[in-house]
Amino acid sequence: MRADGPYEQVVVQVGADRAFALAGMDRTTDILATPMECSGVLSAVSAFFTQLAHYQADDPVAAARLEPHAASLAVSLLRLTSPLRPPAEIPALLRRDQVIAYIHAHLTDPDLDADRIADAVRLSRRSLYRLFHDTDYTLMDYLRRARVEAAQNLLRNHPTKSISHISREAGFNDERSFYRTFRTITGMTPNDYREQFH
């Protein structure tokens, strides 16, 4: 990183696999570091993250509420700075974005499954699964990870909510499957995860 004058540095941490999948990037071939000018649209993105970093100290609860939007904006930043895709690949990327948006909009529905998603976005199950073929996750892996991320956010920001309430709010059918999935993905129990922050 090089700057000709005073500068601020804000580090934005997002799950790499999810960010790459959302951005439609291949983490094995796409560039991870690229120079960019913080002007035009990118200046708005940098201003958001800089201001959010300042507010984390003054109003951490409100800043935490912006966390999901910050992650989405970070993914958009990846898209803006990533290599252009050949036109033939764009429809598949747009379809995957549509699927991902649907998943996040209906994450709390415990009956959300591949059939429901396929019906909603008007794809066959086979075509739906194929959209995730070049990512690090299957469709259902992505759904489980998105639910665990939602649960992590709730555990960090709502220390008094019961684990059973959080599991329902994150879209899990029952507390047992929530514990099992959470532990598989994070390597710890929901209670252990919460104790790190409270």
pLDDT tens profile 170-185: 999 999 999 999 999 9
How far is CA 175 from each of CA 132, 167, 182, rounded to the nearest angstrom? Answer: 28, 6, 10
Q: Chain-wide mean pLDDT for the chain?
A: 82
Under 8 Å between Cβ of 114 and 123: no
Instruction: Provide CB contacts within 8 A for 152, sequence distance 6+.
Output: 186, 193
Question: How confident is the model over 42-67, as pLDDT tens digits?
Answer: 788 778 888 888 887 788 777 777 77
Instruction: Provide CB contacts within 8 A for 107, sequence distance 6+.
Output: 143, 146, 147, 150, 170, 171
Query: 50 or 132: whose pLDDT is higher?
Result: 132
Per-residue pLDDT, averaged over 115-126, amounts to: 92
How far is CA 44 from each of CA 16, 54, 107, 153, rounded to the nearest angstrom? Answer: 22, 16, 29, 25
Per DSSP, 89 falls in state G
Owner of token pair 């415990």: 110
Per-residue pLDDT at 89 exceeds 80:
no
Measured CA to CA, the distance from residue 171 to residue 183 in angstroms comes to 16
Q: What are phi and psi of 65, to 5 degrees?
A: -70, -25
Owner of token pair 């532990």: 183
Run of H or E residues at 55: helix 41-58
* pLDDT score at 73: 74
Per-residue pLDDT, averaged over 77-85, amounts to: 65
Per-residue pLDDT, averaged over 93-111, amounts to: 88
Per-residue pLDDT at 198 exceeds 70:
yes
CATH of domain 86-198: 1.10.10.60
What confidence tier does 87 reach under pLDDT thresholds 50, 70, 90? very low
Measured CA to CA, the distance from residue 107 to residue 95 in angstroms comes to 18
Q: Where are the domains of the chain?
A: 1-84, 86-198
Per-residue pLDDT, averaged over 26-43, amounts to: 65
